[in-house]
């Protein structure tokens, strides 16, 4: 008997161990009112045998009393638990349900469809890996469908299933399904939904939920449950940038001092160097402590305690990061806000901004625009009302340590709290670019003048005459890369080779421009953009004179590089990416700039304390750690011949 009990215990332990290591998928259901979100979840749980007998008996009884299916089994009652929800047949609050299959564990958030509960939908979507957007086959894409789709895109949910529900009511018509798919795609092209799929279903009848529907033989894709079990979400997490906001300092005795927190992103191991923000003190990880023992490696989203080799002062609200990979630290940010309060947003009013474990007072300086969720057009507005979405500029009382929301959902998100009522009034997503609005407006003015044909570009010599005189076409070659990549040395070698061929060429670089034309600028995002704007005008002037301009700039922003190309003229603009690895660039740093950036003395240094966007489609990619300067220069000369700039 004892042996049998031991076997049973072993089987239970093995089952629990297997269940513990299943991957967890969080997903939401959203869409317009009465599209069948709660019915879908109830049916999924019912068909996957995840409803207990007593629950099932109660649901069958409730279906006869208050169901919306004429006395038949109503799956929606499983998640619509509030009395008001059952009375009205709608979802009001976010209902969370847990279930598992042999392949995965799931947490479902059933979100409300009514417009006045959009804030609840945004709450449910904030932690989701996947969204199921339901569309009633009778009604097609509605306003609330568009609103929820926009919020899903805004919140960075990469995987989206558009489930066209109630196909049984439209006689499982394939043409109707295709019409809805085409309508949704035309709207979704303006959204950031990288992994989009369409499935025709009947939530009430169970078609294409767990088992393939015999009523829709024309559909050959995956069932909903199969897709949920197999969709790959492993690459969605940021495992590059280590971020751990400190929640609590554990000091049980004189011999132990640990910093507790949940890892927001990245991986950490004992012995690795870290930095504590905002103090910028450095140390190394001594141990990674958990309740179950020390770990050799920890990653998001584990909750851990870090002990360090040095005595460093840190407290709740600080952030532990890798010394060579720092987040941005600013007291001014641009963000998208979803306003969640019945009282309108008041620009200039002081609110509390809760970001990770840090809370700072601050003000919403300006509302740059409000988004019309139906057309996705930007429109001016004095304030944001309940459930409205807009872009704002925020000033804080101290620096915030953050990543852009698109890069890191944990450190790129925040909530806004009213100081008087303590109510959460908004949810925010920090944008990639902050504090460069003035520079953008100047760029826009320049590009508008360029597109309309600037009347000041007058010359007594035609471009054809210059081309005939110099035997070349004007062009600008932008060499972009990290500091120390070798781009300036390559640019000088290209200029020399062109000169020796008798070409009319000039070389400009960031440092020389900053000593004269841009001596008034610093190194903020806005100032870097302005420096490149001025340099683009200089290159454009050289091209207008018929010359070839070889330009060497870090130029870290892909957006700004694109604007340079438009200003100069895309037909005469070439981008060369000098992609020398950063570890090699560090060894060539004669001015100690990387060391200063590591120490926090250079706050906007690309590759360390600021982002560097690698060119998406460069005309040429070089690696000065693998190729000599002369070989790189020859490759650029060859490119110029291929593009017929020179012959």
pLDDT single digits (tens) 153-195: 888 888 999 999 999 999 999 999 999 999 998 888 878 888 8
At residue 161, φ and ψ (nearest 5 deg) are -110, 120
Q: 330-430 in CATH: which number?
A: 2.40.30.10
Q: What is the DSSP string of 218-283?
A: T--S--HHHHHHH---TTTS--SS-EEE--EEEEEETTEEEEEEE--BSEE-TT-EEEEETTTEEE
Q: What is the pLDDT of residues 281-311, one digit of tens each?
A: 999 999 999 988 999 999 888 999 999 998 8
Q: Nearest Cα to 609, choosing from 406, 326, 238?
A: 326
Number of neighbouring beta carbons within 10 Å of residue 317: 18
Res 160: pLDDT: 92
CA dist 108 and 114 (Å) reads: 19
CA dist 198 and 217 (Å) reads: 15
Average the pLDDT over each of 13-27, 504-518, 559-573 and give the range with the smallest value.
13-27
The pair of structure tokens assigned to 535 is 């340099």
The pair of structure tokens assigned to 151 is 């919020």
Q: Give bridge partners of residue 351 from the DSSP assignment.
A: 362
* Sign of the dihedral defined by the CA atoms of residues 307, 310, 313, 314, in that order: negative
What's this model's pTM, rounded to 2 decimal places?
0.60
Cβ–Cβ < 8 Å for 325, 240: yes
Whether pLDDT at 439 is above 50? no
At residue 301, φ and ψ (nearest 5 deg) are -110, 45
Res 86: pLDDT: 37
CA dist 495 and 547 (Å) reads: 11
Q: 461-643 in CATH: which number?
A: 3.40.50.300
Number of neighbouring beta carbons within 10 Å of residue 265: 24
Whether pLDDT at 31 is above 80? no
Q: Is-cis flag, bond preceding 645, omega within 30?
A: no
- The whole-number average pLDDT for the span 362-382 is 83
Cβ–Cβ < 8 Å for 544, 450: no
Res 500: pLDDT: 92
| Residues 6 or more apart whose Cβ sits within 8 Å of residue 106 | 24, 25, 26, 27, 98, 99, 100, 228
Q: Which residues belong to the annotated binding site for ATP?
A: 481-488
At residue 468, φ and ψ (nearest 5 deg) are -70, -40
Q: How far is CA 226 from CA 197, 209, 211, in A?
A: 13, 8, 9
Q: Is 37 helix (H, G, I), strand (E, B) or coil?
A: helix
| Residues 6 or more apart whose Cβ sits within 8 Å of residue 61 | none
CA dist 18 and 101 (Å) reads: 12
As a whole-number percent, the residues of the chain with pLDDT over 70 amount to 81
At residue 444, φ and ψ (nearest 5 deg) are -60, -40
Q: Is 502 left (phi over 0), alpha (psi -120 to 50) or beta?
A: left
Domain extent listing, the chain: 6-230, 243-322, 330-430, 461-643
Q: What is the pLDDT of residues 522-539, one digit of tens each?
A: 777 777 888 888 899 999
Angle at 156 between CA 79 and CA 433, to 5 degrees: 150
| Residues 6 or more apart whose Cβ sits within 8 Å of residue 282 | 273, 274, 275, 276, 323
Res 272: pLDDT: 92
Q: Nearest Cα to 81, choosing from 103, 66, 71?
A: 66
Confidence of residue 321 (pLDDT cuts 50, 70, 90): very high
CA dist 236 and 229 (Å) reads: 16
Whether pLDDT at 570 is above 90? no
| Residues 6 or more apart whose Cβ sits within 8 Å of residue 137 | 164, 165, 166, 167, 169, 170, 173, 176, 177, 180, 200
Q: Which residues belong to the annotated binding site for GTP?
A: 31-38, 110-114, 165-168
Q: Give bridge partners of residue 288 from the DSSP assignment.
A: 295, 306
Q: 6-230: which CATH topology?
A: Rossmann fold (3.40.50)
Average pLDDT of the chain? 82
CA dist 31 and 429 (Å) reads: 22
Q: Give bridge partners of residue 281 from the DSSP assignment.
A: 276
Domain 330-430 and domain 461-643 have a common topology? no
Q: Nearest Cα to 26, choosing from 128, 132, 177, 123?
A: 128
Average the pLDDT over each of 18-32, 62-76, 378-392 and give the range with the smallest value.
62-76
The pair of structure tokens assigned to 494 is 């290209």
- The whole-number average pLDDT for the span 258-282 is 92
The pair of structure tokens assigned to 4 is 């049998």
Whether pLDDT at 233 is above 80? yes
Q: Which residues belong to the annotated binding site?
A: 31-38, 110-114, 165-168, 481-488
Confidence of residue 143 (pLDDT cuts 50, 70, 90): confident
Q: 243-322: which CATH topology?
A: Elongation Factor Tu (Ef-tu); domain 3 (2.40.30)
Res 193: pLDDT: 86
- The whole-number average pLDDT for the span 583-609 is 81
Res 28: pLDDT: 85
Res 368: pLDDT: 84
Whether pLDDT at 87 is above 50? no
CA dist 17 and 645 (Å) reads: 66
CA dist 588 and 597 (Å) reads: 15
């Amino acid at each position: 008997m004892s042996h049998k009990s031991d076997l049973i215990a072993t089987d239970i332990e093995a089952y629990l161990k297997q269940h513990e290591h299943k991957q967890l998928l969080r997903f939401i259901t959203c869409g317009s009112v009465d599209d069948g979100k709660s019915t879908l979840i109830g049916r999924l749980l019912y068909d996957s045998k995840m409803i207990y007998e007593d629950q099932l008996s109660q649901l069958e009884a409730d279906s006869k009393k208050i169901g919306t299916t004429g006395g038949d089994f109503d799956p929606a009652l499983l998640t619509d638990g509030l009395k008001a929800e059952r009375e009205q047949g709608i979802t009001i609050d976010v209902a969370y349900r847990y279930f598992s299959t042999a392949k995965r564990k799931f947490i479902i958030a059933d979100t409300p469809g009514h417009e006045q509960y959009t804030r609840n939908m945004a709450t449910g979507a904030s932690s989701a890996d996947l969204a199921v957007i339901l569309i009633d086959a009778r009604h097609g894409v509605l306003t609330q469908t568009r609103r929820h789709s926009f919020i899903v895109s805004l919140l960075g949910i990469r995987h989206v299933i558009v489930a066209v529900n109630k196909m049984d009511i439209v006689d499982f018509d394939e043409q109707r399904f295709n019409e809805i798919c085409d309508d949704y795609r035309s709207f979704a092209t303006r959204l950031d939904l990288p992994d989009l799929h369409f499935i025709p279903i009947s939530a009430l009848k169970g078609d294409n939920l767990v088992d393939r529907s015999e009523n829709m033989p024309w559909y050959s894709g995956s069932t909903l449950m199969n897709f949920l079990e197999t969709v790959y979400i492993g690459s969605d997490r940021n495992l590059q940038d280590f971020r751990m906001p400190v929640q609590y300092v554990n000091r049980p005795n004189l011999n132990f001092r640990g910093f507790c927190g949940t890892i927001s992103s990245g991986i950490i191991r004992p012995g690795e160097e870290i930095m504590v923000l905002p103090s910028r003190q450095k140390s190394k990880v001594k141990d990674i402590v958990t309740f179950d023992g020390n770990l050799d490696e920890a990653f998001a989203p584990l909750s851990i305690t870090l002990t360090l080799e040095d005595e460093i002062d840190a407290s709740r609200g600080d952030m532990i990061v890798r010394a060579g990979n720092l987040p941005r630290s600013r007291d001014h940010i641009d963000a998208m806000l979803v306003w969640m309060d019945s009282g309108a947003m008041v620009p200039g009013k002081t609110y509390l901004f809760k970001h990770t474990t840090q809370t700072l007072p601050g003000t919403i300086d300006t509302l740059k625009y409000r988004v019309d969720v139906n057309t996705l057009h930007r429109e001016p507005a004095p304030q944001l009302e309940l459930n409205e979405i807009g872009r704002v500029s925020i000033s804080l009382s101290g620096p915030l340590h953050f990543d852009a929301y698109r890069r890191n959902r944990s450190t790129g998100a925040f909530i806004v709290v009213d100081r008087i009522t303590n109510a959460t009034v908004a949810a925010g997503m920090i944008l990639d670019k902050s504090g460069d609005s003035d520079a953008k407006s100047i760029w826009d003015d320049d590009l508008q003048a360029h597109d309309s044909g600037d009347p000041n570009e007058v010359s007594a010599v035609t471009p054809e005459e210059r081309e005939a005189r110099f035997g070349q076409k004007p062009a600008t070659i932008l060499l972009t890369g990290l500091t120390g990549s070798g781009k300036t040395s390559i640019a000088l070698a290209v200029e020399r080779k062109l000169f020796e061929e008798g070409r009319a060429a000039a070389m400009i670089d960031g440092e020389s421009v900053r000593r004269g034309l841009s001596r008034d600028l610093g190194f903020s995002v806005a100032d870097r953009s302005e420096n490149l704007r001025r340099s683009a005008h200089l290159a454009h002037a050289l091209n207008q004179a018929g010359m070839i301009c070889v330009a060497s700039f870090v130029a870290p922003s892909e957006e700004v590089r694109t604007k340079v190309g438009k200003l100069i003229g895309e037909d005469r603009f070439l981008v060369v990416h000098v992609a020398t690895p950063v570890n090699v660039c560090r060894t060539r740093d004669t001015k100690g700039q990387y060391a200063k950036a590591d120490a926090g003395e250079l706050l906007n240094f690309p590759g360390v304390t600021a982002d560097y966007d690698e060119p998406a489609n460069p005309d040429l990619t070089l690696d000065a750690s693998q190729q000599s300067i002369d070989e790189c220069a020859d490759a650029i000369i060859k490119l110029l011949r291929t593009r017929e700039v020179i012959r």
